[in-house]
Structure 1
């Protein structure tokens, strides 16, 4: 900036020197052509300074924007690791059909499954945070958006897979519960029939003894 002021001052000094020498030699004063007067130079200098100031502001704003995007990317990566870990663990959990072998065990398994469903349902907001961060970075033209979108799509794919596994597991669990209830009714029926046979035999014995 100081050098520029010196250049501007030098121009004014040179013009003054030329005019002084011309007057000293009784010559016609030098008149700068249009666009080259001191006033024109001053205006051009102002435009230059304004353009440089605007560029400096734009660069500073872009730097701030890029720093914000880097922070968003770091936040996205941190949360993505946690989401992927949670999704993998729950996919393994719902892939296991450890329902038990009697009605009380299957009923307990159903209650546990319903608790898992509630937990998964409440996790929707955390998945949405990942999607929102990715959208924000894409809107801001983040330079590494392909990697961000690839990770986002992978998490979304795993999320949908978990919901499908959960739904399929509920179907199998409900079928197992229905079968256990049928088995329970059959056991009750067999017990009732055995009790009736004993009762009939006892009645027959009493009748014959008379």
Structure 2
């Protein structure tokens, strides 16, 4: 067949990935496989989301164009994920997928809505409990993306964070609510540090007191024996 100008019509070929882009991709391989996460869907979803974030970051860092993103990303799929892709791509025939289409398919397969909903409720119910402030902050950061409406402003994010620490840390805030998230986190760290130092001092004093009382008791016991009296109770 020919086009309107009489030139032979050729079948569109997929864009060729430039050598320099391939070289950068091989230097920073970020493979994804779902097989190691069979113990739990939630763990696999977190791994899938982290992989997608890393891939997008890598694409931006090497200046990868949209035409090449799908090919470079699917090259890094392994195991079950690679077999999923070989099946999923057949739905599109010879037409290449856009990056947005690939992301949507990937999210449906590895980031199902019910797991995201579960993570949302985990964030809503998140409290410090027995965790340190650092551990609480890390979990807060990891789960916040599942409930963006709760942290859509700096004030909302700070307010949600300040509701989670243990009672002793919250009481130390004195009812003053920070409007900035970074300030709220810093205050929690400071309160935890001060309280840990106070506990360490009290424990040191208690230990020193016990040692002194023990020596005093031994001395009194010796005096009692030497005088023919019963040892004094300490």
TM-score interval w.r.t. the shorter chain? 0.3 to 0.5
- Scaled by the length of structure 2, the TM-score of the pair is 0.30
The structure showing larger relative contact order (alpha-carbon pairs under 8 Å, at least 6 residues apart) is 1
Name the one with the larger helix percent.
Answer: 1
